[in-house]
Structure 1
Amino acid sequence: MIRIRKARPADAAAIAAVHIETWRSTYPGILPEAYLAGLSLPRVAAFYQRGLLERREGSAMFVAIAEPEAGCGPSQVVGFASGARARRPTLAQGEIETLYLLEDWRERGVGRRLMRATAAHLAAIGCRSAMLWVLSENPARWFYQHLGGRLVGTDMVRVGGVSVPQTALLWDPIQTLLLSTARADGA
């Protein structure tokens, strides 16, 4: 069973582990191998810990927790998403800043649930539109388009010492994202 909840500072190391594993499985051939190999769990965890402790106004992070069957074993963070007021308000009012999900948990509705939690948060703080940036060569880009994200721009971003293209996707109004992430069974 998967449970979605707001992230806590104590989740920082688990969030960092998901970040690193997701980047290493998603970005070979897109980002430099040396950069991916050099991702440091303590450094990435410290980054997320600071972010969770010093939340800027309007920001929120959600984690997907896999609960063990019949209470056998520990719970595990298998993904996370975050959002806040947009850094470029000319594109949208709200921004989905991250969505990372371990490969074994993809195509099970977990990413959709994390997107919904983030979009609901953005709507609750008054954002009438939402956008995100995704590396243009990210194979998961189709997921955002499947949820109704509309291409509104491209740009270059430096990651790991190289410039890579990124694509902006928009949901305007934000209700289009909320509707596309709703489940017919109400879950």
Structure 2
Amino acid sequence: MNTCIRRARPEDAAAIAAVHVAAWQDAYAGLLPHGYLAELSQRRIAAGYGHGMLTRRGEEAVFVAETAADPRRIVGFASARKVRRTGLGGADFAEGEIETLYVLTDYRDRGIGRRLMRASAAHLAAIGCGSAMLWVLSGNNARFFYRHLGGRPVAREAIQVGGEAVEQTALAWNPIETLLAATAFTQES
């Protein structure tokens, strides 16, 4: 199934939130408290994404993957910006950060995540970031995808999610060209 990657618009917020909730409930089952995942508010999350897109500055970008067969069906998204955190977890490791990357379960293993990563990396490079990073829960299987793309673990930290401590790992691509090369289109893609 063909998908296109494009910049998100504020009217995409509800569909982005639906992907966010579904992806969290799938990917984080067993890693985060069940009650926390069950109570994720699609409406609240949509409001946050909508507000963020309306007020974003040029250094921030959200990309969506939508199916070609049904152009309004958003099946994944990613967001990227210059790193905001200093010290452990941010500017020490990279200049740009991929904040989110979520793809619906039925659309995984089709190259959509790789293409969203490429759009994010290209955006970061375009705004002058020479390196990129992201955080992933250490128990999340997505860490293997990021490692396959050349992400190097650079830090770990404990965070609180839903009242429980979980570990997350920072992965970095320095220089950012390593991520751009790893996500480049090939005949096999």
Q: SS at 2:179's partner residue?
A: helix
2: CA distance between counterparts of 1:74 and 1:171? Answer: 32
Q: Deviations over 1:118-160 (max 9, x none)?
A: 0000000000000000000001110000000001010111111
Match among 78, 81, 89 for residue 78 of structure 2: 81
Paired with 2:71 and 2:135, the residues of 1 have a C-alpha distance of 33
SS of aligned partner of 1:34? helix
CA distance in structure 1 between the aligned counterparts of 2:10 and 2:127, rounded to whole angstroms: 22
Q: TM-score under structure 2 normalisation?
A: 0.93
Q: Distance in 2 between matches of 1:56 and 1:34?
A: 35
Aligned-CA RMSD value: 1.4
1:55-70 pair list within 5 angstroms: 55-68=56-69
Superposition deviation, residue 186 in structure 1 = 9.8
SS state of the match for residue 99, structure 1? strand
1:24: how far off? 0.5
Change (3 A) 1:56 1:155: farther
Could you tell me how far 1:21 is from its partner in structure 2? 0.2
- Secondary structure of the equivalent of 2:92? coil
The alignment partner of 2:30 has SS state of coil
Q: Which runs of 4+ in 1 moved over 4 A?
A: none
Q: Corresponding residue for 1:163?
A: 165
Of 99, 103, 111, 1:109 maps to 111
- In 2: Cα distance, 1:158 partner to 1:184 partner: 40
| Stretch deviating more after TM superposition (153-162 or 6-15) | 153-162
What residue number does 1:11 align with?
Answer: 12
2: CA distance, partners of 1:178 / 1:184: 12
Distance 2:65 2:163 in 1: 31
TM-score by structure 1 length? 0.94
In the alignment, the residues of structure 2 paired with residue 74 and residue 153 of structure 1 have an alpha-carbon distance, to the nearest angstrom, of 39
**Residue identity in the other structure for 2:161:** V
Cα shift at 1:79 = 0.2
* Structure 1: gaps spanning 5 or more residues: none
Q: Which residue identity does 1:180 align to in structure 2?
A: A
- Alpha-carbon separation, structure 2, partners of 1:63 and 1:117: 10
Matches within 5 A, 1:1-187: 1-68=2-69, 75-87=72-84, 88-185=90-187
The percent identity for this pair of structures is 58
Partners of 1:47 and 1:184 lie apart in 2 by: 35
